[in-house]
A = this chain, B = another copy of it.
Amino acid sequence: MHVFEVLADPVRRRILELLGPGEMASGEVVEAIGAEFGITQAAVSQHLKVLRESGFARVRADAQRRLYSVDAAGLRTVDAWIGQFRSFWEPKLDALATEIARGKRDRRNAPLTKRTGKRA
């Protein structure tokens, strides 16, 4: 399932928000989500499965319990896609700040022409 399809569901987004502060047992998630959305334990479990398989959540076993936590991989993928448009709403960053913020990752394929135009 594509990363954006994963986040298209409000229940899954909410689960990630719940996991943000730290890991939570499946049962705790079921309780919180159940209260907010009124869906069953099975439904929540299915959502957790999607989050797992798409790289948004990790699990580890603790006896019968399954402790879930945020996996950055999925979120990163989303951020990368959004990032290609970042100049649309963050044009105020000066070049240096952008360099720092982006970890210089753009440097390799920097378009030599069409820079700020200040000099060329």
Residues of A participating in the B interface, judged by any CB pair closer than 8 Å: 2, 4-5, 7-8, 10, 13, 16-17, 20, 70, 72, 75-76, 78-79, 81-82, 84-86, 88-90, 92-93, 96-97, 100-101, 103
From the candidates B20, B70, B89, B103, name the one contacting A92 in the complex (CB within 8 A): B103
In the bound complex, do residue A16 and residue B85 qualify as a contact, i.e. CB atoms below 8 Å apart?
A: yes
Q: Among A2, A10, A75, A103, which residue has the most Cβ atoms of chain B within 10 A?
A: A75
**In contact, B88 and A75 (Cβ under 8 angstroms):** yes
Contact A72 B100 (CB under 8 A): no
Complex contacts, A4 vs chain B, CB 8 Å: 4, 7-8, 13
Cβ contacts under 8 Å, A88 to chain B:
70, 72, 75
